[in-house]
Amino acid sequence: MSKQTGGISVNTENIFPIIKKWLYSEKDIFLRELVSNACDAVTKHRRLVSLGEATESAAPYRIDVRLDKKARTITVEDNGIGMSEEELKRYICSIALSGAVDFINKYEGEGENGKNGIIGHFGLGFYSAFMVAEQVEIHTRSHTGAPAVHWSCNGEGEYEIDADDREEAGTEVILHLEKSEKEYLAPEKLRAMLGKYCAFMPVPIYFDDGTKKEDAEEVPVNDVAPLWQKPVSDCTDEEYKDFYKKLFADFREPLFYIHLNADYPLNFKGILYFPRLGNRFDSLEGEVKLYYNQVFVADNVGEVIPEYLLMLRGVLDCPELPLNVSRSYLQTNSYVAKLSAHIVKKVADKLVSLAKKDRPYFESVWSDIKPFVEYAALRDEKFRDRVKDHLLLALTDGTHVTIDEYLEGAKEKHENTIYYTTDKALQAQYIAMYREAGIAVAELDGVLDTQFIAAEEAKRAGVRFLRVDADLAHLKEGDATENEALTTLFTEVAGEDKLTVKQENLASTAAPCVLSVSEESRRMEDMMRMYRLSAGEDGAFAFPLDMTLTLNLNAPLIAKLSALIDTDRTRAVAVATFIYRLALLQSRKLKEEEMTALLSEGYTLLGDLL
């Protein structure tokens, strides 16, 4: 057999059913595509006028979307470039032949798509009309003065072309809806679609739901010059805040914003906001709206915004995005990766700038942004390297310091050691003892803090994070003379608990004893809790902790208890048991039987005092 060549042919009767059902992920997109085509028609005419190849339009450019419930039609009309009969046959009667691409190649040069405001690319958008229409009509007249043309096509792909009486340049597309698509006869439905997909298209769009009065003032449904298209120097703080509230219907002002404007090599614009969270239980999922030449594409495209910045809200307009045919998701390529990396860098740069230029405000919003900054630092080493010098620690006295500032202040008393609390109320006694010793305590009570401090220890050679109940080395005062009877007593009352009893002279006399758990043991417990590996039925943990009970020989209560051992051992056991339960209470949640015993022992001791 001799070698043969040829081209793939597609039969209209085979491709139209596919277009009607599968061309786009959502049928609502048909309106976006038709209005986008109308925008392109206006953009092309503007370009030709600027080149001296067309006469400027006598009327202001506009797009009209009209609903006629009685006739069951939706009309999209523009006063743009229009089409001649030849152009209509070429671009409408041929599937996937893009007039936009032809225009770009002729007047802009190859490789310029995305830099000229032209939206169309694949030559398929017009056919989305057949997803909802049983018949589509076009009335069009070219700006060149060529005779007007009327085109009509049914849902099977059979069309007719004849002369038309349209006088003005432009195009009118009329959709005769299928009976099953009655939802698109609801004005509120079309308004919502225009609000979602066309809110920022660059040509004024007017919607007529069939109830408009003749003397009513016309107001476009879109903003042709959205804030992200303006130079940063022309935008005010109030404008940024108002834009945020309008876009996301959030009455709370954002914490801060980042205006992005990249020309080369990425070419994109946008505004990103850090939202203000009401409390830690607020939804952490943000919403970044992706646009293509001011046309809405999608929310939260994961390829562009990394999941560790999931709290961001805002808009990104990327006219060079490698979109798929339906413009509903991205084709993966190096441009997307570079875009994502650039956004991450800009977020890190904004945090650094805020920390340097307005430290008081940076501290005031730290509790809101801390979970996200920590998560990003854990997931992206480059991000962490950019912000590492400005990672804050919130101290129990209400102030903030960077990690480096804390370590600098700790050089004399506890070099390379950062003391922290995970529960300011539960560990109040420990915090008070550290405060008396002049040692600052950081609050690390977030869900990511355990992983975060472990990562920081790995990055900062020799630095340790110790919870306040993990180490008492800097709370001691002189050498202690141990009383073996006290050790025996508390070992007895601890029962089956794995417990080491020690005696020390602590600087503070307030606490008769403190219970400490080694940092390594407690972190293992945290990890077990995270993976739900050792929780008992009551939520208490069965993991055997390495606990140490330190008796404070400087505390008056321990001195009295020591004397009581020889005179009334039964009472000494009762007092020691109650003291031990209180120490447990400061360290963790008590089990049901432990809480019952604590209350019973307390009532008994109170009764003995009466």
By CB neighbour count within 10 A (0-12 exposed, 13-18 middle, 19+ buried), where does 220 fall?
middle
**Which residues touch 313 (CB under 8 Å, ≥6 apart)?**
244, 247, 248, 254, 272, 273, 275, 286, 287, 288
What are phi and psi for residue 143, nearest 5 degrees?
-65, -15
pLDDT of residue 377: 94
CA angle 489, 491, 494 (to 5 degrees): 110
Give residue limits of the domains in the chain: 12-208, 227-358, 391-468, 479-517+538-609
Measured N-to-C along each axis, helices 592-609 and 569-587 cross at an angle, to the nearest 10 degrees, of: 130
By CB neighbour count within 10 A (0-12 exposed, 13-18 middle, 19+ buried), where does 530 fall?
exposed
Taking the C-alpha atoms of residue 369 and residue 256, their distance in angstroms, rounded to an integer, is 11
pTM of the model: 0.79
pLDDT of residue 281: 46
Q: Which of 124, 150, 122 is nearest to 16 (CA)?
A: 124
Amino acid at site 37: N
Tell me if the domain spanning 12-208 has CATH number 3.30.565.10.
yes
Tell me if the domain spanning 391-468 has CATH number 1.10.3720.10.
no
H or E stretch at 180: none
Give the other-Cβ count within 10 Å of 283's Cβ: 8
Report the DSSP pairing between strands 400-402 and 268-274: unpaired
H or E stretch at 290: strand 287-292
Q: Which of 174, 113, 110 is nearest to 139 (CA)?
A: 174
Strand partners, 476: 506
pLDDT of residue 23: 62
Domain 479-517+538-609 fold:
Four Helix Bundle (Hemerythrin (Met), subunit A) (1.20.120)
Q: How far is CA 273 from CA 191, 244, 310, in A?
A: 26, 8, 11
Strand partners, 205: 63
- Which three-class secondary structure state does DSSP give residue 362? helix
pLDDT of residue 169: 94
Q: Are 421 and 399 in contact (CB under 8 A)?
A: no
H or E stretch at 152: strand 149-154
Q: Which of 515, 493, 503, 510 is nearest to 601 (CA)?
A: 493
Strand partners, 502: 550
Q: Which of 476, 558, 549 is nearest to 516 (CA)?
A: 549
pLDDT of residue 22: 60
pLDDT of residue 150: 97
Residues of the chain with pLDDT under 70: 1-2, 4-25, 95-123, 278-285, 300, 302, 322-333, 529-545
Task: List, for residues 397-406, the tens digit of each pLDDT value.
Answer: 999 999 999 9
**Which residues touch 81 (CB under 8 Å, ≥6 apart)?**
41, 42, 44, 45, 48, 54, 142, 143, 169, 170
By CB neighbour count within 10 A (0-12 exposed, 13-18 middle, 19+ buried), where does 308 fall?
middle
Amino acid at site 169: A
CATH number assigned to the domain with residue range 227-358, chosen from the 4 options 3.40.190.10, 3.30.230.80, 3.20.20.150, 3.30.930.10: 3.30.230.80
pLDDT of residue 98: 45
Taking the C-alpha atoms of residue 347 and residue 336, their distance in angstroms, rounded to an integer, is 17
